[in-house]
Amino acid sequence: MSAHITLGDLVELLDEQGLLAHHTPLGEAANTPVTGADCDSRVAAQGHVFVCKGAAFKPAYLLSAVEKGAIAYLCDEALSADLAQACPQVPALVATNLRKAMAKLSAEAWGHPDRDINIVGITGTKGKSTVAYMLRHILDGPDAGSGTGVLGSIDTYDGIESFESVNTTPESPDLWRHLANVRDSGLGTMVMEVSSQALKYDRVNDLEIDVACFLNIGRDHISPIEHPNFEDYFASKLRIFDQARVAVVGLDMDHANDVLEAAQRCDRVVTFSVADGQTTSAADVWASDVRSEDGGITFVVHSARGTRSMHVSMPGLFNVDNALAAIAICEELGIDDERICYGLAHVRVPGRMELLQTADPNVCALVDYAHNKLSYQRFFASVSKEFAGRQIIALFGAPGDKAQERRRELPEEASRWADLIIYTEEDPAHERTEDICAQMAANTPEGQAFEVICDRPDAIARAVEAAFAAPQGAVVCLLAKGDETRQHEGDQFVPCETDGAIFEREVQRLLGSRNQN
């Protein structure tokens, strides 16, 4: 780790960048070493600078951080007067732009760990988590989960901390703490999902990304509190190339030429594509001879290294795209083919295309995080081929307070494939599940069979019942929640069972009841 920066150094740096409106006189405190930065008082520590942010911020949070050893705080003008009154003895740095100042300060306070480790950043509308976990299994080999940091929508692991994630990409003080943990624990690589929100709101400013992967782009996260339109969403995603050395870009997406143009900001651009029946491809890394096999997929991959066969231990034909992205990234990192083959053949992504079999060979479930139009298009197109002849029962909802387009797009897209749709709870936040489901029901195409069951366990029980009643068998698609163990209700994250656990319990209950009769 590099030598600690001092509080005076930070003040000078922020002032040079035009990010400091004013600050209290530092005196001897200017020479105090800064060892980190936080925006959550629960993780505040000795020698850290505490960032005071948000409309709901309370001076009590700062007091708690100071009690734990925080040596100064960063805030904006809106909070400065109240905080100065609450903690007059603590040096205050008042920012002109709090988000940019927070990102700059956090990178420096944690010693810029990105310069000591490999950083892989993955963005796109669909597939970020799957690619991240493919990379983790490849990089770790047989010891998957022990040697590579992961930061994303499913969980967070940095060699020191391990927990279920709340945000895909955390706020900058938390981000840089995780990167420092990767460095300090000797992991060497952080594979991270980079969300459009993180790029738009400067959470990843100053981060040096070794390989940035752009998977695909579709309409998502369009709402008054996220992105006002698709153009803003897309432009935010493209910002990842401003801070990357190598760009890895999928060619099989809408707006591929625009993405490639933006990727020219990087030193090197590598492309990937599925040949789709063709014998050659313009991509640098491409796949041919794709087929489903034994609950997974096999294909032949072509690249500068030559031609070889690959097997991915997950269903879903669309996962060939994700595997190609992982292969292209690994080739740029210098990972050998043996590790790539082993990792893909043994990959498991929690809550991604998890196949749950039952005692009836014609009834199964797929647990998947699919939650937007693009992911639905890929998911259902694959399911209809891999489980041809079976009924498709789709169970899903839509989140509260955001991504309102999903309430129209998801019923429309699911209705192209599903025999029965069941609308239910999915992180309603500050809205009523009943209201969200009613909007989705109103947007359901005429003639499509659907039910509204707001309680998610009850909805899954109904899906199980319908699946075993289907003469030709059925595949139950449990969507959006994946392996999550919490529902976002109001301001709380309430514990809940995973969809998979509920499905398996309800199957046993139904089969047990039948045997008794």
Q: Per-residue pLDDT tens for 386-416?
A: 999 999 999 999 999 988 899 999 999 999 9
pLDDT digits (tens, 9 = 90+) for 464-480: 999 999 999 999 999 99
- DSSP-assigned states of every residue in 472-492: T-EEEEEES-TT--EEEETTE
pLDDT digits (tens, 9 = 90+) for 66-108: 999 999 999 999 999 999 999 999 999 999 999 999 999 999 9
pLDDT digits (tens, 9 = 90+) for 337-393: 999 999 999 998 888 899 999 999 999 999 999 999 989 998 999 999 999 999 999
Question: How many other C-beta atoms are found inside a 10 Å radius of the C-beta of residue 307?
Answer: 9
pLDDT digits (tens, 9 = 90+) for 203-261: 999 999 999 999 999 887 777 778 899 999 999 999 999 999 999 999 999 999 999 99
Q: How far is CA 412 from the centre of its chain?
A: 24
pLDDT digits (tens, 9 = 90+) for 149-184: 999 988 899 999 999 888 889 999 999 999 999 999
Q: Is residue 515 very low, low, confident or very high in pLDDT (cuts 50, 70, 90)? A: confident
Q: Using CA atoms, how far apart are residues 350 and 502, in angstroms rounded to an integer?
A: 15
Is 188 in contact with 140 (CB distance < 8 Å)?
A: no
Domains with residue ranges and CATH for the chain? 5-109 (3.40.1390.10), 113-345 (3.40.1190.10), 354-516 (3.90.190.20)
Quick one: DSSP state of residue 127?
-
Confidence at residue 286, expressed as pLDDT on a 0 to 100 scale: 96
* 26 HSE (CA, 13 A, CB side): 19
What is the mean pLDDT of the segment spanning 124-141?
Answer: 93
Q: Measuring CA to CA, how many Å separate 276 from each of 21, 84, 281, 353?
A: 56, 63, 9, 22
pLDDT digits (tens, 9 = 90+) for 275-320: 776 767 789 999 999 998 877 999 999 999 999 999 999 988 989 9
Q: Which residues, including other chains, have CB under 8 Å from residue 130's CB and lie 6 or more apart?
A: 314, 319, 322, 349, 352, 353
Q: Is residue 3 very low, low, confident or very high in pLDDT (cuts 50, 70, 90)? A: low
Is 92 in contact with 80 (CB distance < 8 Å)?
A: yes
Q: Which residues, including other chains, have CB under 8 Å from residue 278's CB and lie 6 or more apart?
A: 288
The residue type found at 362 is N
Mean confidence (pLDDT) of the chain? 94
Confidence at residue 1, expressed as pLDDT on a 0 to 100 scale: 44
Gyration radius (Cα) of the chain, Å: 24
* 13 HSE (CA, 13 A, CB side): 17
Is 470 in contact with 453 (CB distance < 8 Å)?
A: no
